[in-house]
Structure 1
């Protein structure tokens, strides 16, 4: 009798796993109990783009995978992404919230990356407004970026003829830009920046690991077990948040609330916080939210841009003809002067080079999961409210039907027959929909000004160890493998 009962339970469990729980969802790879499709996804070479492309070949542009114990609808085609995340954006504007992650890292539902509703809307709007006030897209922000361009140029002239870790130069420059916006200061001590950068690198490495993915996506795991499986998350969090808290404390000591003008984001936030507290609102602009907003803007603004620049330089060294073509354009249009944003429209090939670097870098192995805000229909299936949906832009950026021979670095694909920059709507490195990257405007300025100025001033050549590898290190965000190069001035100083 006991044997029959156990056999029946096993049969029912297998029936549920293989059929019942998957009914009504788009077809997809067969999940394993508890862990879903994690093992299969991690079995592909880093950074994992190939898994989603392979599943799309087998199951179509829209299919279902299981992230631990819960389903996720993956949308891989641009046409399908446009019909959902653009044409019906409100239905996909929520983020899928992993409560255990928020508790472990953030101390609750804070920030903008991992929140929904009023918290997300209010703080995204406030951050965008503050960015605009501090000059995003204007000369004030451009001057801040040009200062960092000057610093890199000075350092590269000093290192001419030697091995250069160009990634370190980009890291420090972009870190300074973010720090100025948030806290009003550049890094005085490289050691302080490097310590923070190491923690941020570790954060992305940890978030891209099987262990952490398992801990956050298996719904029945208690919080204490999540903390046990992810002890490094707490260590990394404490180190990063300690840096933010030091800056916040210093601002609290120095802030002048009577002065209407603010010098940075934190000061602007504190004035809004005081205003709301005077009205009896002690929650919407809390200190916890401020720390998490600093974290989100560091995460969003740092690694995406600096890793793209690292890849861009690597592609330039591996494709010297394309590099020379860009430099020829820069010499003819700019000559020996600083490139500004006013020059952007007159440099089509330089812009095409940046576009192709962004496409090839393809930084996100898997996009941040969203959730349906209402019942929707996908691939003929009715999907309830609250189900995870992922807009998988990595498959669009590497789609051979959109970008022929996608493995090749070909800036010319963005140039039309008249030699002008061609707009390609399928180029979506900053994501799509209502949660498009908060710092897209700033990132575009940084990519253009760093690329145009540095490649106008220097030729980038392979280092003693040869050409940079174009393989990625595995992490939550893709990164070029460490490399060194050499630089050669194009103009006499």
Structure 2
């Protein structure tokens, strides 16, 4: 054999050994990790995952290794939590140890680790407390927020009427509605859907106004404080990103499902006519009187399963969890899809069925397994707002329109176009026919 080839092979062998030692020191040498598939050098278990459907791959591994198992992704160890009991035990019962945010390289690079979404430790605690307090002061969870959503729903109806019942792509119409609700919360202002220059200008003006009239501007005296302009910008950015895209995607996915199931849409129309009628706008008090519509909205969120793997967590210290010892900094994946698709809680979970949230008498049935916003202190801060938006937008639109598909409902495909970490509904067009 050529001496140069031998040298190269020897070098590769040495590098592989060093990498294996490094991996051992980072994980196996510090604790007793849960069982999992045997990793390959350098790439770990990447080849054992279907990168087009990561959540399904993780669910398959859970059948073999149990509700708590470990993977090696590259040089990093990851612990996956499968099922309600494991996720609740970690994020609720041991919440203080599992509340760190796991690595999200793209967002960390863009934000430089600033803002509420990717921060940890004291920065996260301060920003979380400030965000909760500020959102409450601005009306989150109060009647005033409901009125803003109702007003925005009227604007949305007017935009949909402009389509004149012709085929349209709902993505470009639905997007401004939840974004405008966030604007109304943060900037106390509604913007015309197509007035982009005014929207941009008002964001800048209202941001300055918010900063000047907040305790942030006293904070120069406290160099260790996390109340900085940069953290403000990225915290607001997180609210816009999370509060707009997830609601829009759920609405679009929900309309697609209703196009495929016209019988469900008909039942919603009947309930709206019986409870609300045409003379007034839907309100949150109606939800308790509309168990079927409420069940459909919940089932849309469960079935669409927008973020199946959840947002990554990490343990903030060496953590004893069940019979395992998880080293500090280990990434934790709470597999939300395993809860939303639990076949004991939701029989035939891969079938869209509002009865998953209805009892034998037709009353709405709550479920602890309904966790599309996750659970624990790292759960979505805007859960209450999102639930309110989804109910009011769905009912207001269906009060005013009948959704009509362009093809036979049986031919409609509701499978997502991407199912790596986030599920995206396939592109489609529909007609909003005035009722």
Q: Please report the TM-score for the alignment, with normalisation by the length of structure 2.
A: 0.88
Stretch of structure 1 that moved more, 51-60 or 177-186: 177-186
Residue pair 1:327, 1:456 contacting (<8 A) in 2 also: yes
Q: Deviation string for 1:84-122 (max 9, x for gaps)?
A: 211221121111245x5465201x331111111221112
Query: 2:237 is matched with which residue?
Result: 295
Aligned residue pairs total: 423
Rounded Cα–Cα distance in structure 1 between residues aligned with 2:190 and 2:46:
41
Query: 1:105 is matched with which residue?
Result: 110
Residue pair 2:297, 2:390 contacting (<8 A) in 1 also: yes
Q: Deviation string for 1:184-235 (max 9, x for gaps)?
A: 3334462739xx9xxxxxxxxxxxxxxxxxxxxxxxxxxxxxxxxxxxxxxx
The 1:403/1:281 distance shift into structure 2, 3 A limit, reads same
Map 1:305-454; keep pairs closer than 5 Å: 305-336=247-278, 337-454=280-397
Q: Is the partner of 2:431 in helix, strand or coil?
A: strand
Residue pair 1:61, 1:76 contacting (<8 A) in 2 also: yes
Map 1:104-253; keep pairs closer than 5 Å: 104-106=109-111, 108-188=112-192, 190=194, 192=196, 249-251=204-206
Q: Which runs of 5+ in 2 are unaligned?
A: none
Q: Deviation string for 1:150-204 (max 9, x for gaps)?
A: 11212223324310222322211111112222333334462739xx9xxxxxxxx
Query: 2:36 is matched with which residue?
Result: 28
Residue pair 1:356, 1:410 contacting (<8 A) in 2 also: yes
Q: Is the partner of 1:409 in helix, strand or coil?
A: coil
Q: Which runs of 5+ in 1 are unaligned?
A: 197-242, 256-266
Shift of 1:18: 9.5
Residue pair 1:92, 1:372 contacting (<8 A) in 2 also: yes
Residue pair 1:273, 1:285 contacting (<8 A) in 2 also: yes
Rounded Cα–Cα distance in structure 2 between residues aligned with 1:332 and 1:248:
41
Rounded Cα–Cα distance in structure 2 between residues aligned with 1:343 and 1:91:
40
Query: 1:61 is matched with which residue?
Result: 67
Q: Please report the TM-score for the alignment, with normalisation by the length of structure 1.
A: 0.78
Rounded Cα–Cα distance in structure 2 between residues aligned with 1:419 and 1:189:
39
The 1:94/1:7 distance shift into structure 2, 3 A limit, reads closer
Q: Is the partner of 1:455 in helix, strand or coil?
A: helix
Alpha-carbon RMSD across the aligned residues, in angstroms, is 2.9
Runs of 4+ in 1 over 6 A off after TM superposition: 1-5, 17-20
Q: Is the partner of 1:190 in helix, strand or coil?
A: coil
Shift of 1:77: 1.1
Query: 1:470 is matched with which residue?
Result: 414
Residue pair 2:317, 2:327 contacting (<8 A) in 1 also: yes
Shift of 1:6: 5.4
Q: Deviation string for 1:412-439 (max 9, x for gaps)?
A: 1111122211111001000011111011
Shift of 1:371: 1.2
Rounded Cα–Cα distance in structure 2 between residues aligned with 1:72 and 1:379:
16
